[in-house]
Amino acid sequence: MTDVLVVDGTGRGHAICDLFVRTDPDTTVYYGPGCDALTAERIVPVPSVRLDAPESALAFLADHPVDFVFVSNIDALSIGYADVLAAHGHRVIGPSQEAARLEASKERGKRFCDDHGLPTARYAAFTDPAAARAHVRALPYACVVKTDGLTPDGDGSVVCDTAAEAEVALDAFAAAQGEAFQVVVEERLYGREISVFALLDGEDYLLFPTALDFKRTLERDAGKNCDGMGSIAPHPQASPLLMEEIRRTLVDPLVRGLRAERLTYSGFVYIGAMITSTGLRVIEINTRFGDSEAEAVLPGVHSNFTRLCRAVLDQDVASHPLVTDGLVRCSVALTQGCLDLADPATAPGWPFGAFETGQPVTEHTADAPDASQVFYANVRAGEGGSTVSSGGRVLHVVGTGITLADARSAAYARVGRISFPGMRYRSDIGAVFETAPAPDATGARGELAVADSGR
Ligand code: AMP
Ligand code: GLY
């Protein structure tokens, strides 16, 4: 029997817990703070564990020793959660605070890419708004303005067509941040994004399937960036050739760079990249799995995840195969939108502004079992056994199929049975790829296979 503590509280956290218990019947996951509305077998929510207080996990672990702790949330990692638990003798999977700065500071992430030969867009960093404004006015290319630190809703990057737009973005960041103003201005890249994932053990890595995240808030990729409105996996362009390029140009240099800088790193890394006409470019390094990508990628993994984690702790992960089912998944985020569209005084909804949580979430049961799953993000147990919304992205609904069309229809059929006041979602996640045959790296769909990601 294995006991694990997963530190997270998002749809990604639920997907990681689900991966543990689904692939290892002998594992029990304590999930802190987790989600108290979750009633899954062998997933035990621990609300006393706080993302912003590693000592709360120490207190839990003093009474409930576990085999290891898996920290998968950037808010926790960026304050040194993994360091604190390791310093107290716990076996931990999760990058150190110093390593998590690769995500927590855009400038740090960009510098790491330049120092270790990961291809990325040209950039400059600023702490003075006037200097940043002069820079964007002089640029001969379109740019993206990024606030340096973590942002709660993933809206810290503004993709600009013109210098005037970039100046508006800089003004907004300057007004919001005052003295703390710190931005990166980088060259705008063109192409299709891809989310790349690997499980690292500090020495080597195991590549996981890719995904395509839909980060824009509105239909047809309109509106501002947010944490993501849904994902499809695998990425429609993930051919064996592209996977090889990902390995050679992105993940190998990243792992070499971590070793060269002696950064303590175990757990998932997520490289957001652009497939441009001149090759792959890193958009950002994230020191945890993507959310909502985890919900679309991890259900397809059939390797015993507890065993993989033990291999991470033994620095032997690369000798393990990754078994995946080769199916396509589509994940749709259901978000807390505005409660009354007809009322101009009502709060605008996530991620545009204030929103009202505490909305009762209901679901009509299906007539027959279907190929869908729901991952809990911002829901909480309400009165009398009810479930209520408690944040911006409320649920992630995932459909599975042999084709993307099947996966999409399973996801949206399930979405159609769920409701809460103000529920908003994108109806076009993956739609533009529906008719294109996806290059399959793993053989027959639906049959378990060792993915090409095994080394
Ligand atoms: P980031 O905050 O770095 O994760 O960026 C959020 C989103 O902004 C990315 O997923 C892209 O959609 C977009 N983005 C960021 N950097 C660039 C870039 N250099 N060129 C084009 N789009 C970008
Ligand atoms: N899906 C984007 C993120 O996890 O940052």
Average pLDDT by consecutive 10-residue portion of the chain (455 residues)?
98 98 98 96 98 98 98 98 98 98 97 98 96 97 94 85 96 92 96 98 98 96 93 97 97 98 98 97 98 98 98 97 97 96 89 95 88 97 95 98 97 97 97 72 59 48
- CA 144 – ligand 1 centroid, Å: 7
Looking at the CA of 229, name the nearest ligand.
2
Looking at all shown ligands, the one closest to residue 224's CA atom is 1
Residue 375: half-sphere exposure toward Cβ, Cα within 13 Å: 32
| Whole-number pLDDT of residue 120 | 98
List the domains of the chain with CATH numbers.
2-96 (3.40.50.20), 122-187 (3.30.1490.20), 192-324 (3.30.470.20), 328-433 (3.90.600.10)
- Ligand 2, atom 4: nearest CA belongs to which residue? 290
Q: Which atom of ligand 1 is nearest to the CA of 156?
A: 2
Which pLDDT belongs to residue 453? 46
**How far is the centre of ligand 1, averaged over its atoms, from the C-alpha of 157 (Å)?**
6
Instruction: Name the nearest CA neighbour of 299 among 8, 5, 18.
Output: 18
Q: Which ligand has an atom closest to residue 120 CA? A: 1
Does residue 156 have its Cβ closer than 6 Å to ligand 2?
no
> Which residue CA neighbors atom 10 of ligand 1 most closely?
215
pLDDT value for 311:
98
Which amino acid residue places its CA nearest to atom 8 of ligand 1? Answer: 157
- Ligand nearest the Cα atom of residue 216: 1
Atom of ligand 1 nearest to the CA of 121: 19
Please tell me the distance between residue 283's alpha carbon and the centre of ligand 1 in angstroms: 6
Residues written for the chain: 455
Instruction: Give the residue whose CA is nearest to atom 16 of ligand 1.
Output: 283
How far is 267 from 285, CA to CA, in rounded Å? Answer: 13
**How far is ligand 2, taken at its centre, from the CA of residue 62, in Å?**
32
**Cα of 375 from ligand 1 centre, angstroms:** 26
Could you tell me the distance, in angstroms and rounded to a whole number, from the CA of residue 83 to the centre of ligand 1? 29
Write the residue with the smallest CA distance to atom 2 of ligand 1: 157
Q: Read off the pTM.
A: 0.95
- Measured in whole angstroms, the distance separating CA 93 from the mean position of its chain's CA atoms is 17
* Protein residue with least CA distance to atom 4, ligand 1: 284
Ligand 2 in contact with 228 (CB < 6 A)? yes
CB count in 10 Å sphere of residue 260: 11
- 202's tokens: 């500090």
Residue-wise burial string across 112-131, b where 16 or more C-beta atoms lie within 10 A, e elsewhere: bbeebebbbbebbbbeebee
The binding-site residues of ligand 1, defined as CB within 6 angstroms of any ligand atom, are 121, 144, 146, 156-157, 159, 186, 188-189, 193, 215, 225, 272, 283-284
